[in-house]
Amino acid sequence: MSDSVALDPVDLEILRILQNDARTTYRDLASAVGVAPSTCLDRVARLRRSGVILGHALRLDPSRLGRRLEALLSVQVRPHRRELIGPFVERVRKLPESRALFHLTGPDDYLVHVAVADAADLQRLVLDEFTSVKEVARVETRLIFQQWSCGPLLPPGATHRPRPGAASA
């Protein structure tokens, strides 16, 4: 089901470039990796079909949308049984403040990444949507001072070796 896919260096280079800018034209892509534009199209279509590429997402600035404060909520759901955690997960996913949700090992079962307007909004969210719910045993709130995105995601051991003539911007 989720087997790895065999990727040659051309595929890797395509993925690297598209992770920087997913709207790179096939023409530019082609000249960067050294194949024809139509071949690039084939490659990308295959990467989409094989499930390596899940989709294209917009990167938005939460603070420009009036969400100036982000936080991580560690949540204990007790008792930790399927009939409780299923609805919990769905409810949290539907909150407009939620950005991501993780089910983790360790004493805190869930981690929720939220983006809110301000501290008062965060307080309201925690009180109304988490601590007031009976299956939520504990919530720990940590504010995010700063966050960084990291380098492109590539297969383990993939030596990232741009070709001599390729523009790496």
Partner DNA sequence: AGTGAAATCACAGTGGT
Partner DNA sequence: ACCACTGTGATTTCACT
- Which residues contact DNA by CB under 7 A? 8, 10, 25-27, 34-39, 41-43
Q: Report 5-24 residues binding a copy of itself (CB under 8 A).
A: 5, 7, 15, 18-19, 21-23
Of the candidate residues 10, 72, 133, 166, the single one contacting a copy of itself (CB under 8 A): 72
Least distance from C-beta 153 to DNA, angstroms?
Answer: 22
**Mutual angle of helices 37-49 and 26-33, in 10-degree steps:** 100
Burial of 80 (0-12, 13-18, 19+ CB in 10 A): middle
Encoding tokens for residue 155? 């297969």
Which entry of a copy of itself, DNA, none binds 89, CB below 5 to 8 A by partner kind? a copy of itself
Of the candidate residues 143, 162, 167, 168, the single one contacting a copy of itself (CB under 8 A): 143
Amino acid at 29: L
Which entry of a copy of itself, DNA, none binds 39, CB below 5 to 8 A by partner kind? DNA
Is cis: bond before 62, omega within 30 of 0? no
Pick the closest to residue 100 from 15, 92, 108 (CA basis).
Answer: 92
Least distance from C-beta 21 to a copy of itself, angstroms?
Answer: 6
Euclidean distance between CA atoms 154 and 161, whole angstroms: 12
Q: Report 74-113 residues binding a copy of itself (CB under 8 A).
A: 89, 92-96, 98-106, 108, 111
Q: Decide whether 39 or 141 has the Cβ nearer to DNA.
A: 39
Which entry of a copy of itself, DNA, none binds 13, CB below 5 to 8 A by partner kind? none
CA dihedral 143, 145, 149, 150 (to 10 degrees): -100
